[in-house]
Amino acid sequence: MSVLLLSSEDVETYARMTDVIPAVEEAFAAYERGSVQMPAKSYVELERYNGDFRSMPAYMDAGDWDAAGIKWVNVHPDNPEKHDLPTVMGTMIYSDPETALPLSIMDGTALTMQRTGAAAAVATDHLAVEDASTLGIVGAGIQSYTQVEAIAEVRPITEIVVSDLDDERVRRFIDHFSGEFDVREGSIAEAASCDVLSTVTPVRDPIVSLDDVGEHTHINAMGADAEGKQELETAVLEAAKLTIDDHDQTTHSGEINVPYGRGEIADPHIYAEIGEIVAGKKAGRTDDDGITVFDSTGLAIQDVAAARVTYEAATDADAGTSFDLIDTS
């Protein structure tokens, strides 16, 4: 049985944001409807290597289609210095839920970047002001690029303000986007005063204060992915209309995990899970809303939904490399 192998270049080409955004939105809606099986992310701790493996399996039924898969991802902070390898790498196995045959093995790192950007775009589409034209980016690492690509699909972004402590990263970011947007370096406060703000940093001490944030800014808090991380001061979360992707994940490892653990943020502060808004059970932005926040930790169903559209686009283009994995004779 032939399996389609998709490299990082293949995924970057065929995980088209115009396809991935609606796929991720459908995944959020399916999660709200309860037509999803998504066991908790499991960890294999590797203390001797200062790293870990994480497995993220899921099945989802979107109504018109269903899909299944698992992402196997690592976090090894010593990789860049000791082995000249990325800190985070991922592999996605996309399977046919009817037969369990693996349809594709694809680069999960590029896929994660696309689906993470798409999640921010879904939240922005529902929670940002309709005419949002300015975008602030705090953290100019690799994740910031798909934030721009995705959010520009759902709002008429013309101006970008980027803030990062690393001048070289800022320069690369500006060079990359200068042909498409009016993009400039600015302070965190300047970035946070934009119509939309995406924070994509690994910080453990909050760097965005309530005074920094614009009166009607929508914030995509994307950086916190582990216990102890927090990018926004608790006052921002307290003042905002707060939306999350998943209660268990966000309270344990998302933007709200630290203040939630301290009792500073409690369940009544949480307005909705994004699936409730996508499914129409709760309203998105209303005329009375000021600051809005989306706390994103990343769900396995996002990977499965993104893998599906990537596999279909690559198959239609006769891309990738096919190989025999299972003998069905």
Flag whether 207 is marked binding.
Answer: no
pLDDT of residue 225: 87
Flag whether 254 is marked binding.
Answer: no
The CA–CA distances, whole Å, from 200 to 62, 193, 217, 232, 282 equal 29, 16, 16, 11, 27
For 197, phi and psi rounded to 5 degrees?
Answer: -130, 130
Category of 184 on φ-ψ map: left (φ > 0), alpha (ψ -120 to 50) or beta = beta
Flag whether 37 is marked binding.
Answer: no
pLDDT of residue 135: 98
Other beta carbons within 10 angstroms of residue 92's beta carbon come to: 27
CA–CA distance, 237 with 259 (Å, rounded to integer): 9
Structural domains of the chain ordered from first start: 3-111+300-323 (3.30.1780.10), 115-295 (3.40.50.720)
Flag whether 115 is marked binding.
Answer: yes
Q: Which residues of 168-202 are buried (b: 16+ CB within 10 A; e: fewer)?
A: ebbebbbeebeeebebebbebbbbbbbbbbbbbbe
The CA–CA distances, whole Å, from 116 to 8, 109, 126, 146, 262 equal 16, 11, 16, 8, 28
Query: Is beta strand 241-244 parallel, antiparallel or unpaired with respect to 292-295?
Result: parallel
pLDDT of residue 226: 87
Task: Give me the average pLDDT of each 10-residue run along the chain (329 residues).
Answer: 95 98 98 96 94 96 96 94 93 97 97 97 98 98 96 98 97 97 98 98 96 98 94 98 97 97 97 98 98 97 98 98 88
CA–CA distance, 255 with 249 (Å, rounded to integer): 10
pLDDT of residue 30: 97
Per-state percent for the chain, helix, strand, coil, to nearest 5: 40, 25, 35
Nearest to 189 by CA among 172, 203, 210: 210
- 316 burial via Cβ count (<10 Å: 0-12, 13-18, 19+): exposed
CA atoms within 13 A on the CB side of 155: 31
pLDDT of residue 41: 87
pLDDT of residue 326: 85
Nearest to 218 by CA among 239, 197, 190, 193: 197
Nearest to 108 by CA among 141, 76, 72: 72
Q: Which of 41, 71, 241, 282 is catalytic?
A: 71
CA–CA distance, 126 with 122 (Å, rounded to integer): 7
- Which amino acid is present at 293? V
Whether residue 232 contacts residue 224, with contact meaning beta carbons closer than 8 Å, is answered with no
Flag whether 48 is marked binding.
Answer: no
CA–CA distance, 45 with 138 (Å, rounded to integer): 30
- DSSP conformational letter for 39: P
pLDDT of residue 181: 98
Quick check: is 71 catalytic? yes
- Which amino acid is present at 89? M
Helix runs in 34-135, H state only: 79-83, 108-127
Flag whether 249 is marked binding.
Answer: no
CA–CA distance, 157 with 196 (Å, rounded to integer): 9
Please tell me the pTM assigned to this model: 0.95
- DSSP conformational letter for 40: P
CA–CA distance, 298 with 222 (Å, rounded to integer): 9
